[in-house]
Structure 1
Amino acid sequence: MLKHRVFAPLRRNLCEPLDALRSGTPRLRYWKELEHSQYLPESELRQIQWRKLMDLLDYVWDHNSFHRERLERAGITPDMIRTPADFMKIPMIRKEDIRSNIGKMISSGYDCDSLMKFKTGGSTGKALEIYMTEACSEFRNACARRHDRWTGWEPGEPVGAAWGNPEFPHDLKSRLRDWFLSPVIYLDTMSVTEKSVRVFATEWKRVRPTLLYGHAHSIFLLAEYVRKLDLTGISPKGILSTSMMLMPHERRTIEDVFGIKVTDRYGCEEVSLIASECEKHEGMHLNIEHLFIEFIKDDGTLAAPGEPGKIVVTDLMNRAMPFIRYQVEDVGIPSDRECSCGRGLPLMEHVTGRIADFLIKRDGTRIAGVSLIENTLTKIPGIEQMQIIQETVNIITINLVVGDGFGQDEENELVTYFHGLFGNESKVLINRKKIIATETNGKYMFSICRVKLD
C-alpha cells in the first residue's frame, strides 16, 4: 500500500514534468491556466469567450473558404456580429455538411498530412474525419485533466477504465512509460462477463486505481456484476461516467454498489468536453473557455433556462478545421442556477438524450428514449436490460434481457404501455435475448429511432 501512496506524487511531481520537458508538450501549462480560470467570475469568463469567438470569426473570414462562403450566403461579415443574437444568424452545420466538405473545412496554411487526424463513430455507422493541431489536442487533454480532478482523483494515480477496444501497452518501453506516467487497467466493454469482471477485480487489487472511468452503461454493468458476485476490493475514490448518457436508475445502482457519487461528463469527439459535474453534483459546468454553447429550440430561438434545446457548439480552439455552430445532435437543458462550488463556469441541468434517441409518434411528437426506459425498466419487475428500436412510426421492437419476476403478465404490461403512447394499431415486438450487444466502439444504445422524416 505504501508504494502506491509514494508512486503517485512521484509521477505527478517528477516523472510527468520531466516527460513534458523532453517532449515539449504545453499540456501542463494549459492545465495550470485552466485550474485558475475556472474560478474567475462568470462575467469575466463570458468576456474571454466572446473575444475568442470574435477572433475565430475574423480568422475564418480570411483563412477558411467553407465558413466564409457560409457567412457570405447569409449576408453576414464578422464586423456585423456584435451580440449572441447576431451570431445566431449564421446557419448551423451538421455531420452531413462536414462529411461532404472535409477538404474545404481545412483552413489555408494547414496541410492535412501534418495535422492530427481522428475518426468519430456514432449511430449512423459513418465515420467523420476530424483534423486538429497537436496544440489543440493538448488543450483538450488539459481540460479533461481539470475535470478528472473534480472526482477526487489526482494526476499520477492509477485509473481503472471500463472501455471498448482499449489500447494496451504492446512492448516494454510503452509498458514502462504507462507505469511511470499514468497506469491504467481495463475492463474491455466488448466482452463484459463474469470471468472478465473477476480478472478486473484482481487487477484492481494489484494496481489500486483511485478513479473508475468509462462508458456510463459499462460502469453500470460492472456494478451489477460486483453486487451479483459479491466482489470486494474495487473501491475508487472517484467515478467518472462519460461517452454516453447516464440514466437515473444506472446512477442509483452505481452509487449504491460503490458507496460514492458518480461524476457525469458530457462531450463528443468532434469538439471534446462540453460539460461536466463537479464535486457538488448540482448540474454540469459548461466548458466555455474552449466552446461557445447554444441551446436552440425547434423554432430556432434560444431555449430559456429549464427548457430543452438542441445543443449547438462552436469550437474556439480548433482553427485548423473550425466547427462553427455545429449541431451535435443532442438535446440538453440550460440553467441559470449557480453552483455552490464557487466556480464561474455556468451550468446546464443535464442532457436529455440524443436526437436519434427520441422516438416519434404519428402526430410528430417526440418522446425521449431515456424517459421510456425509466418508465418501464425501473417499474416493471424482472427487466434487467432493455433496448427500444423504432423501425417505422408503427413498428417498435423491444429487446429485453429478463430475470426472475418477468413473465407474461409483465410482458403484457410493457406492450400495453407502448400501445398507450403510440396507439393500439402500432405493432410492438418483444425479443427476449441473453445479451444485448454493444456497438463496435463498446457503447450500448438504449434507444434507436430509424424513422425517416421528410
Structure 2
Amino acid sequence: MSFMNFLRKNVFDPLYCHYTRSPRRSYWRELEKSQFLTEKELQDRQQEKLKRLVEFAGKENAFYSQRFEKAGFSTGRPWTLDDFKRIPVLTKKEIRENSARMISNGYDIDRLMHFKTGGSTGKSLDIYITEECSELRNACARRHDRWTGWEVGEPIAAVWGNPQLPTTLKERIKDTLLGPVIYLDTMCVNNASVTAFVREWEAVKPTLLFGHAHSIFLLARYLRQLKIEHLRPKGILSTSMMLLPHERQYIEDVFQVKVTDRYGCEEVSLIGCECEEHQGMHLNTDHLFVEFLNEDGTASGVGEAGNLVITDLINYAMPFVRYRVEDVGVPSGRKCSCGRGFPLMEQVVGRIADFLVKPDGSRVAGISLIENTLTKYKGLDQMQIVQTSYEEFIIRVVPGNGFNNDIKEDLSVFMKEIFGSNIKVNYEVLTSILPEESGKYRFTVCKVINE
C-alpha cells in the first residue's frame, strides 16, 4: 500500500466519517468481525433479525398488516418459518401499485431517501430507504469489495454508464483524499475511449476494476486488440449482469487476475458475492433472508434452479417481505474453504442485457440506456429497446401515469444524441412486454450483430 493510500484508509476516511457523522465505518468494522462467525451463529442472528422485521411490519405497516391477516399469518403469537412462508410472494406489480401504502408508520416519505430503478426486468419501481439503511448497505459493499484484494482508500477503475464525475473543487478534493475513481463510460466504448481510459489508469493506478460483467469483457477485448498488456489490478469485481463462463475466462486471461462475481439489485442491494476462493457466491445473510422457490412455491433443492425470493432485514421504512426479484438462482450445498459461515449460491442465471451498436462499431450498454431512460422519464412503467439495423430502432413501452407524446419525443432526441441524428425510432405502445422463451425479460435486444 502506498503512503497516500495508507492515509486515505487510516486518516482521511475516519476523519470524513467523523465530520459527516456517518456510522458507515463502525458498521463496516462490525461486519468485518461477524463474517467469520459460525454458520449456526450467523443463522441465529439472521432469524432474530427476520423476527424483528416481520413483527414490526405486521404492527406498523398498513400494507403488511392487511397482507398478513389475509394470509392467516399473525405476529401476535409465536410463529415458525413454515408459518412465515404462508405470506404471499411480493411482486413488482404490487410494489408499483402500493408504494405509498408500503411506507411504515413513523416514517415521513418526504424525509426518506428515494430512488427509481428499472431493475433487471425493465419495470420501474419507486424505492424508499432511510440514511441508516443506506449506510449499512454501503458498509456491506465495502466489506465485500475487500474480498477482491482491494483495500479502502485505493483508487478504482469503473466500467460504468452515466458516471458521476466530480465537477467542483470541493468534490475533486474529496475524490482525491478518499479514493479516486476513473471511468470508462459504457455509453460509448471504442478505441479512442479505451485508449483515454488506459492513459488515466496509468496516471491514477487503480487497484480494483469494477463494472458490468459484459462491459468488462468488452474492455478486455479492446485491450487485446490494442495490444495493451500492462493493466494489472489487484482484483476485478463483476456485477449487474450474469457473468458468462467464456467471458470470465477471457477477462482473467487479459488481466491475469481472478474475477470476483457479485449479484444484487437496487431494491435490496447486495445479495451474493464470491470471496477470494471463488467457490460460489456467499449470500448476504447479515441483511437478507433468501429463499429459492419452484413455480409452485415449494423450496428448490440443492443444485436446482429456483426463483429468488428475498426479505430485506434492514429496510423498516419500506419493508420488502418475500419479494420476488424476478431472477433465478441455484442454491449450493457446499461449504467454502474460506471459513466464512455464509451459505453459498452456485450462480444466478438469465441476467443478460444486449449491447447496442453504433455505425462506427462503438457499443452502448443496454443497462446504461435503461438507467438514462426508464429511470429518468415519468410515465414509463416498462420499456424495451430493439435495434433492427444501424439506423432503425423500436422502442416498446408500457405507459404509466403521465405518459404522452412529449415523452416519446424526448426519448427520440436522447436516442439520436447517442446513435446519430439520422436514425429512425419507431414506437410500439403495449399493455405488457412479454419475456423471452427462456422466461427472462431483455430490456435491450440487438439484431445487428450476434457476438
TM-score interval w.r.t. the shorter chain?
0.7 to 0.9
Residue identity opposite 1:266 in structure 2: Y
Matching of residues 324-343 of structure 1 within 5 Å: 324-343=321-340
Show the counterpart of 1:292. 289
CA separation of 1:238/1:293 partners in 2, compared to 1, >3 Å: closer, same or farther?
A: same
Q: Residue 82 of structure 1: CA displacement?
A: 3.1
- SS of residue matched to 2:127: strand
Show the counterpart of 1:5. 2
Q: Residue 104 of structure 1: CA displacement?
A: 0.3
List per-residue Cα deviations over 1:249-300 (Å, max 9, x = no partner): 1101100101111000000000000000000000100000100000001121
Q: Residue 124 of structure 1: CA displacement?
A: 5.0
Matching of residues 29-178 of structure 1 within 5 Å: 29-79=26-76, 82-122=79-119, 124-178=121-175
Contact 1:286 1:347 in 2 (8 A): yes
Show the counterpart of 1:268. 265
Contact 1:244 1:443 in 2 (8 A): no
Show the counterpart of 2:449. none
Contact 1:215 1:443 in 2 (8 A): no
Show the counterpart of 1:238. 235
Normalised TM-score (structure 1): 0.79
Show the counterpart of 1:439. 366
- SS of residue matched to 2:366: coil
Show the counterpart of 2:430. none
CA separation of 1:443/1:236 partners in 2, compared to 1, >3 Å: closer, same or farther?
A: farther
Contact 2:186 2:364 in 1 (8 A): no
Separation in 2 of the partners of 1:435 and 1:231? Answer: 19
Residue identity opposite 1:119 in structure 2: K
CA separation of 1:446/1:286 partners in 2, compared to 1, >3 Å: closer, same or farther?
A: farther
Show the counterpart of 1:311. 308
Show the counterpart of 1:15. 12
Q: 1:257 aligns with which of 254, 258, 265?
A: 254
Gaps of 5+ in 1: 358-368, 370-385, 388-398, 402-431
Show the counterpart of 1:206. 203
CA separation of 1:440/1:53 partners in 2, compared to 1, >3 Å: closer, same or farther?
A: closer
Show the counterpart of 1:383. none
- SS of residue matched to 2:368: coil
CA separation of 1:276/1:82 partners in 2, compared to 1, >3 Å: closer, same or farther?
A: same
Show the counterpart of 2:343. 346
Q: Residue 76 of structure 1: CA displacement?
A: 1.1
Matched, 1:222 2:219: yes
Separation in 2 of the partners of 1:442 and 1:247? Answer: 21
Q: Residue 85 of structure 1: CA displacement?
A: 2.0
Contact 2:53 2:313 in 1 (8 A): yes
List per-residue Cα deviations over 1:199-222 (Å, max 9, x = no partner): 000000000000000000000000
Greater Cα offset, 306-315 or 227-236: 227-236
Residue identity opposite 2:316 in structure 1: R
The percent identity for this pair of structures is: 56
Normalised TM-score (structure 2): 0.80
- SS of residue matched to 1:150: helix
Separation in 2 of the partners of 1:288 and 1:450? Answer: 30
CA separation of 1:282/1:252 partners in 2, compared to 1, >3 Å: closer, same or farther?
A: same
- SS of residue matched to 2:350: strand
Contact 1:165 1:442 in 2 (8 A): no
Residue identity opposite 1:183 in structure 2: P
- SS of residue matched to 1:103: coil
Separation in 1 of the partners of 2:360 and 2:348? Answer: 29
- SS of residue matched to 1:160: strand
Q: Residue 441 of structure 1: CA displacement?
A: 2.1
Residue identity opposite 2:59 in structure 1: D
Greater Cα offset, 224-233 or 30-39: 224-233
Separation in 2 of the partners of 1:433 and 1:441? Answer: 19
CA separation of 1:80/1:88 partners in 2, compared to 1, >3 Å: closer, same or farther?
A: farther
Q: Residue 451 of structure 1: CA displacement?
A: 5.6
